[in-house]
Amino acid sequence: MPTSGTPEDRAAAAEPQPPLLTDAERDTLLEQYGCGPVRFSGSENALYERHLMFDHVVDPAAAAPRDRFEAVARSVRDVLSQRWVRTQDTYAARDPKRVYYLSLEFLLGRSLSDNIGNLMLAPVVRRAVAAKGVDWTAILEQEPDAGLGNGGLGRLAACFIESMATLQLPAMGYGLRYEYGMFSQDIVGGWQHERPDNWLRRPDPWEVARPDEMVEVRLGCSFEVRGGSLAVIPGRPSSLYGLPYDRPVVGYGGRTINTLRLWAATAPDEFDFHAFSSGEFVSALAAQLSAESLTRVLYPDDSTSAGQGLRFVQEYFLVACSIADIVRRFRAGNDDWHTLPDKAAIQLNDTHPALAVPELLRVLLDEARLGWDEAWDITVRTLAYTNHTLLPEALERWPRQWFAALLPRHLELVVEIDRRLRDDVGRRFPGDEGRLSRTSLFEPGQTEKVRMANLAIVGSHSTNGVAALHSQLLRTETVADLAAVFPERFGNKTNGVTPRRWLLGANPPLAAVITEAIGPGWITDLDQLARLRPLADDAAFRAAILTAKRDAKQRFADWLRDRHGMAVDPDGIFDTQVKRIHEYKRQLLNALRIIALYQDLRADPGRVVQPRTFFFAGKAAPAYRFAKLVIKFLNNLAETIDADPLVRGRLKVVFLPDYSVSLAERVIPASDVSNQISTAGYEASGTSNMKFMMNGALTIGTRDGATIEMAEAASEETFFLFGLTAAQVADTRGWYNPRWHIEHEPRTRAVLDLLTSGHFNRDEAGIFDPLIESLTGSDHYMLLADLGSYLDADARLTALYADPDGWARTAIANIAASGRFSSDRTISEYATEIWGVTPCPVD
Ligand code: 26V
C-alpha cells in the first residue's frame, strides 16, 4: 500500500486501475513496428499491469504514482525494444558508415512523453487515459529530468541525437552516466542555493546496463582517497572500467531506434586480495570508491576550465571507453584499418572529448601497429570538431604535467604532433615566429598548457562554429593563424532544435492549429511551415494563433499557481529571458530595462498600459559570484515591484527557480517576447532563440549568434533588433566609457540613480555595489551602450502588442520562417558535408 502521496493520489490508487495498453493494442503496434505480436498467457497480460505486478510487486489497484510511471515507461520500452534490437541488427548486417557523437553532456530532460510521441502511441495513451481516468500529468511528473548538461551545448547534443534517429542515420551518442546531474537550484532570501541532483535515486526505466561490453581504461598513475579527496600517485599505472548503460533514442515514427551509450566508471570486480588479507580491507574498498567517484557528478561550471583535475580524467575516460567501443564495432566487420574513415565519423562536441585525437592515434600506432603517416591520416579523416564558445576563459587548456602523470604516452604523441605542425607552419610561413607560437599545441607560461582547441583543429578534418557570425569570428579572430594553415577545414553549421520536443510536444495548442492548417508534414519537414506565411492575411487563422498563445499562457499560469502559488495575468505580455546566468548574456541589462519601465509607471500612476510580466530563469555556476549576485538582484527587483502599490497590476517580475528542460518546455510556449540580448559577438548561436521563434514569440535582441539568421529568414521588420553590432563592439572596446552614457542619456542616468539610491536593497546596504561598480567602471559587456536602443526597441514592441492583428501577423511571419532552425536541417548538413553518411532505414 502506498504510504505517501497526496489524498488525491491515495484516492486514485484505491480505484481499480485498468491497464493503459491492452494486449490487442500492443499487438497492433508491434505489428506496425514490424515486430509481430508477442503473446503472454495468464490474466495479467496487459503490459502496464504486468510491470506493476512483476517489477514492482504491488497490487495494480494500489500503485503509487512513481510505480505507475515506471510501469508505463517499461511498457513503452517493451513496445520499442524489438525495434531497437532490429535497428542494431540492421546496422550490423549492412555495415554502413556510422556517426559517433562524443559529448561530455546530454541534457535530455524527460523521455516518457517524447518517446510516446515519437512512437506515435499518443492516441492510444490518450484513449486509455480518458477511458480509465488516470491522472496522466501526475504520472509524467514522476520522471526526473535527466539533467546531464549545463546548458546550450548539452541540450544541442540531445536535439541532435533525436534528429539523427528521425533522419534514420546510423548514429550513436557517447557520454557519461553522471550519478548527479546539474544541481537543483533553490532561491532562499533571493539567493541561489545549490542542492545535489540525485536523479538516479530510483531505478531509471530507460537505461539498460551492458556489463558484457565493459571496457578497461589504463592510466599512467593511481589515485588514492586521502582525507576525503583524490590524490594522484604518479608512476604507478592503474586501471578502471567503463560500464556502458544504453538508452533508446527514438526517431519520429519509431522506425529507427538508435542508442545513447553512457559510461559509468567502476573498479575491477575482483578484490585486491593481497590488500584484503594484509588487513587493508578499507583501502581495498577505497579503490572502488575512487573509481566510481569519477562519474559521480557533472561539472556545473560552463565558463571556467581552470584547476579541475577530475574533469580532465572524466574527459579521458569518455574518450578511452568510446574509442575502444567504436574500434571494437569496426573490427567486427573489417580487417583493414585503412577503411576506418569510410566506416566511422566521430564528431567532437567542443574540445571536451578532444583527447580522442591522441587516443585514436595511439590505438592505430600501438595496437594496429600502423606507421605514423597512415595512422595520422586515418585519425584526421575520422574526426571532426565543433566549437561552441569564443570566451577565452572557457577554452580548455590542460597543464602539461597532468598529461605527463596520467597519459604519458599521449603526451609523447602530442609532442610529436606539435613538432610536425611546427615543421609544416615553418615551411608555409617562413620566419613567422609569432604564428609558430600561436598555432602551437603548447602554451608557454609558468605552467605549460596544452591548447585543446588547437589539438582538435590540427587532428581533425573539419572545424565548425554553430552560427554564421560565430564561425566567421572563430576563423578570422580566435584561431585565425591556424585557419590560415588549414583554410579548407573551416565551415559553419548553424544550430537547430528538434520540433518534436519543442513544438509538437511542448505546445499542443499551437501544434494543433498548424496541423489543422497545413497537415502534419511539418513535423519531419519543418520548412513546410513556410506554407503558413500567406495565412497571415487570413483573419480566422490569426485569431486561431492568438487563441493558441492565450491557451498556452493560461496553462502556464495555472501551473505557476499550483506549483509555486504565484498569480500572473495571462492577458498581459509574457516577456521572458531564460538561460544560464552569465555576464555576457546580460540579464542585468534586462533588469535595467525593467527599472526604466518601472520608473515610467511610477511617474504616471494613472497611465493605462498593457500589464506585463517579466520572467527570468537560469542557474549560475556555484563559484560565479557576480552571476549569483545578479540572481539576488532579480529577486529583489521582483520583490520591490510587488510591494509597490504604484505599479501593482501593471508590472511584475518573476524569477522561476530551478531552470531545466522541463521548465523550458512550459515557459517557452507561453511567452510573447523572447529576450536574446547578449553583447554582440559573444553568444555563439543560442538555441532557445529558435524555440521561442517556432512557438510564436517575437524576439527583442541584439545582432548576435543565430538571432541574426533568424531575423534574415523572417525579415528584419518582424524582429526588434537593437544595440551595437559585433564589429562595433570590437571597434568601441579601446575607448568605451560607460560614464558617457550616464552623463548624456537621461533614462540611463535615472536608472543608475535609482539603483545607487538603494531602492532595491533597503535593508541590505551595499550588497549591489559590485553590480554598480561593474556598470560604472569598465562595463566590459557594454550594457550601458545598449540600454537606450533596447528601450527604443521595447517601445516599438509594446506598440505592436496593442494591435493584436499586427502582432498576430508578425508572429505568423516568425513561425513560418522558423523551418530552417530545425535540427533536422542542421544534421542533414553535418551528414552530407562533414560525415559522409546516408540514411540506413530499418525495415
Ligand atoms: C565549458 C566548460 C569548461 C569547464 C568545464 C565544464 C564546461 C562545460 C561546458 C563548457 C562550454 C559551454 C559552451 C556552450 O554551452 N556553448 C553554447 O553552445 C550552444 C550550442 O552550440 C550555443 O547555442 C550557445 O550560444 C553557446 O553558448
Q: What is the DSSP secondary structure assignment for residue 497, as one 8-state letter? A: B
Q: Would the CB of 204 count as within 6 Å of ligand 1?
A: no
How far is residue 835's CA from residue 840's CA, in Å, rounded to a whole number?
A: 14
The yes-or-no verdict on residue 789 having pLDDT over 70 is yes
Q: Would the CB of 686 count as within 6 Å of ligand 1?
A: yes
Q: Would the CB of 388 count as within 6 Å of ligand 1?
A: yes
Q: Would the CB of 305 count as within 6 Å of ligand 1?
A: yes
C-alpha cell recorded at residue 693: 521563434
Q: Would the CB of 292 count as within 6 Å of ligand 1?
A: no
The yes-or-no verdict on residue 15 having pLDDT over 50 is no
pLDDT band at 282 (very low <50, low <70, confident <90, very high): low
Q: Would the CB of 683 count as within 6 Å of ligand 1?
A: yes
C-alpha cell recorded at residue 591: 533588469
Q: Once rounded to an integer, what is the mean pLDDT over residues 231-252?
A: 92
Percent of the chain with pLDDT over 70: 91
For the chain, helix (H) and strand (E) counts, in that order, are 35, 23
How far is residue 701's CA from residue 402's CA, in Å, rounded to a whole number?
A: 42
Report CA(489)–ligand 1 centroid distance (Å): 22
Using CA positions, which residue lies closest to atom 20 of ligand 1? Answer: 153
Cell 531602492 found at: 759
Ligand 1 pocket test, pick from 102, 103, 153, 471 with the greatest ligand atom count within 8 Å of Cβ, gives: 153
Tell me if residue 410 is catalytic. Answer: no
Residue pLDDT, tens place only, 554-599: 999 999 999 999 999 999 999 999 999 999 999 999 999 999 999 9
Q: Once rounded to an integer, what is the mean pLDDT over residues 186-203?
A: 97
pLDDT mean across residues, the chain: 92
Which residue is catalytic, options 51, 619, 628, 691? 691
Q: Once rounded to an integer, what is the mean pLDDT over residues 378-401?
A: 96
Residue pLDDT, tens place only, 731-788: 999 999 999 999 999 999 999 999 999 999 999 999 999 999 999 999 999 999 999 9
Report CA(262)–ligand 1 centroid distance (Å): 20
Q: What is the pLDDT of residue 370?
A: 98
Q: Would the CB of 690 count as within 6 Å of ligand 1?
A: no
Determine contact, residues 824/526, Cβ cutoff 8 Å.
yes
Half-sphere exposure of 659 (CA within 13 A, CB side): 27
Half-sphere exposure of 406 (CA within 13 A, CB side): 23
Tell me if residue 687 is catalytic. Answer: yes
Q: What is the pLDDT of residue 47?
A: 77
Q: What angle do CA 552, 555, 558 make, to 5 degrees?
A: 150
Which residue is catalytic, options 687, 699, 707, 810? 687
Using CA positions, which residue lies closest to atom 18 of ligand 1? Answer: 153
Which residues, at least 6 apart from 716, have a Cβ–Cβ distance to it below 8 Å? none
Cα–chain center distance at 230: 29
Distances from the Cα of 304 to the Cα of 394, 623, 658, angstroms: 5, 10, 21
Which residues, at least 6 apart from 72, have a Cβ–Cβ distance to it below 8 Å? 20, 48, 112, 139
pLDDT band at 14 (very low <50, low <70, confident <90, very high): very low
Ligand 1 atom with least separation from CA of 155: 20
Buried b (16+ CB within 10 A) or exposed e, 765-779: eebbeebeebbbeeb
Tell me if residue 579 is catalytic. Answer: yes
Q: 518 or 130, which is more confident?
A: 518
Amino acid letter, 378: I
Residue pLDDT, tens place only, 84-130: 999 999 999 999 999 999 999 999 999 999 999 999 988 888 877 77
Residue pLDDT, tens place only, 434-471: 999 999 999 999 999 999 999 999 999 999 999 999 99
Residues 725/731/737/740 CA torsion (nearest 10 deg): -60
Tell me if residue 256 is catalytic. Answer: no
C-alpha cell recorded at residue 169: 542515420
Amino acid letter, 820: R
Cell 540572481 found at: 631
